[in-house]
Structure 1
Amino acid sequence: MKNEMDPVVNRVRQSSLITLKLEELYPAEPIATFDLKDYLFQGLILREKDFRQALASHDWEQYRGVNLAVGCSADAIIPTWAYMLVGAYASEIAHDVFFGAHNDLLVAHYRKELQKMDLEAFRDARVVVKGCSDREIPAAAYLEISRLLKPVVHSLFFGEPCSTVPVYKRPKTASESQD
């Protein structure tokens, strides 16, 4: 029977688990979208002359310092040059410009940030990728971090250190099995 005076031991804190919080890689800059559907004639086609005039009079300053997602939410065929024109206007004002919707921007951002990580810092470690966040973390980021960490970690988990879902555990080698 356990003595009621024994101190409570936080075994999670004492464990060798490394918690990786993907929310810390969330873009610091706000995210805005530029939807080409707003520039379609009758919701179907993009007229070059009208589009150029609209872009020339558009308030590009609203995108200063933001990450801008450029896409078209309408089911229309958009000529490639239209994206180039938007990029030409936005690239000197926005922090970064991405093709696609809001989520596409997040996927591209996370892929870029995760590729920059020093994976050796996780060599042979037990890593928990934090599951709960106040931010919108795309599922693609969890897929990418799993792909990147699997070759270096001892084990990989999803969730919180106190409640994890095992994702991967390196198989024991023949020499480890004999110990």
Structure 2
Amino acid sequence: MNETDILVNKVANSGLVTIDLEQYYPKQDLIEFDIKPFLFRELILKELDFRKAIQEVDWKSFEGKILCVFCSVDAIIPKWAYMLIAKYAQEHVADLQFGNKDQALLSLFEKTLRSVNWAIYKDQKIVIKGCGDLEVPASAYQTVCYLLTPFASSIMYGEPCSTVPIFKKKKAGIS
């Protein structure tokens, strides 16, 4: 092999920074808590029955998990019912979210991504990793692009070897 036959890893030398949104995925399990079984005929919440049933829930079984509270049937649930669940869950769960798992995941990603200091990526060429083991919500990709755009010099989606261009900052003086 002579000097001209040397293989160059252009991806490694490209200066691309890869952001994997899976790193922002909640570490704790998300557990759904459906109010439906606590309703009379899956339609009406009776206060005394609800209070008794909620008191008897094994809240320790949710220890360290993210509890996603929702109702899977079209019923009118008074706001205090959610407050009562929060009261009992508070000392056991890692976090409490309103909605099913999918809705909670959207909320958690939004909260986490908005807490990141994206300014550290100023003038960087960013690739938002597109494939992985976990199902990252589409809204997370939208949010990260929105939050990175003021800082990054370019944003792409995919893998460094195969990307889809999303954004490229205009150079100063070019209209």
* Same-fold call, TM cutoff 0.5: yes
Name the stretch that deviates more: 3-12 or 48-57.
Answer: 3-12
- For 1:18, give the aligned amino acid: V
RMSD, matched Cα = 1.6
Alignment of structure 1 residues 126-137 onto 2, 5 Å: 126-137=125-136
**Which residue of 2 is the match for residue 78 of structure 1?**
77
**Which residue of 2 is the match for residue 144 of structure 1?**
143
After superposition, what is the alpha-carbon deviation per residue over 1:117-149, rounded to whole angstroms, capped at 9, x for unaligned? Answer: 121210011101100011121111111101100
* Distance in 2, Cα, partners of 1:4 & 1:37: 71
Alignment of structure 1 residues 109-124 onto 2, 5 Å: 109-124=108-123
Name the stretch that deviates more: 3-12 or 73-82.
Answer: 3-12
**Which residue of 2 is the match for residue 15 of structure 1?**
14
* Distance in 2, Cα, partners of 1:73 & 1:5: 65
Gaps of 5+ in 2: none
Aligned residues: 174
* Distance in 1, Cα, partners of 2:43 & 2:55: 21
TM-score by length of 2: 0.94
Please give the secondary structure, in 1, of the residue aligned with 2:74.
Answer: coil
* Distance in 2, Cα, partners of 1:116 & 1:14: 30
In the TM superposition, structure 1's runs of 4+ consecutive aligned residues that sit over 2 Å from their partners are none
**Which residue of 2 is the match for residue 6 of structure 1?**
5
Please give the secondary structure, in 1, of the residue aligned with 2:12.
Answer: helix
CA spacing shift, 1:47–1:126, aligned 2, 3 Å? same
**Which residue of 1 is the match for residue 66 of structure 2?**
67
Alignment of structure 1 residues 48-63 onto 2, 5 Å: 48-63=47-62
Identity over aligned residues, as a percent?
45
**Which residue of 2 is the match for residue 108 of structure 1?**
107
Matched, 1:88 2:82: no
* Distance in 2, Cα, partners of 1:62 & 1:9: 54
Gaps of 5+ in 1: none
- CA shift, 1:6, in A, is 1.3
TM-score by length of 1: 0.92
Matched, 1:47 2:46: yes
- For 2:123, give the aligned amino acid: D
- For 1:25, give the aligned amino acid: Y
- For 2:152, give the aligned amino acid: V
* Distance in 2, Cα, partners of 1:5 & 1:149: 39
- For 1:132, give the aligned amino acid: C
* Distance in 1, Cα, partners of 2:4 & 2:45: 76
- CA shift, 1:48, in A, is 0.8
* Distance in 2, Cα, partners of 1:131 & 1:35: 32
- CA shift, 1:4, in A, is 10
- CA shift, 1:40, in A, is 1.3
Please give the secondary structure, in 2, of the residue aligned with 1:43.
Answer: coil
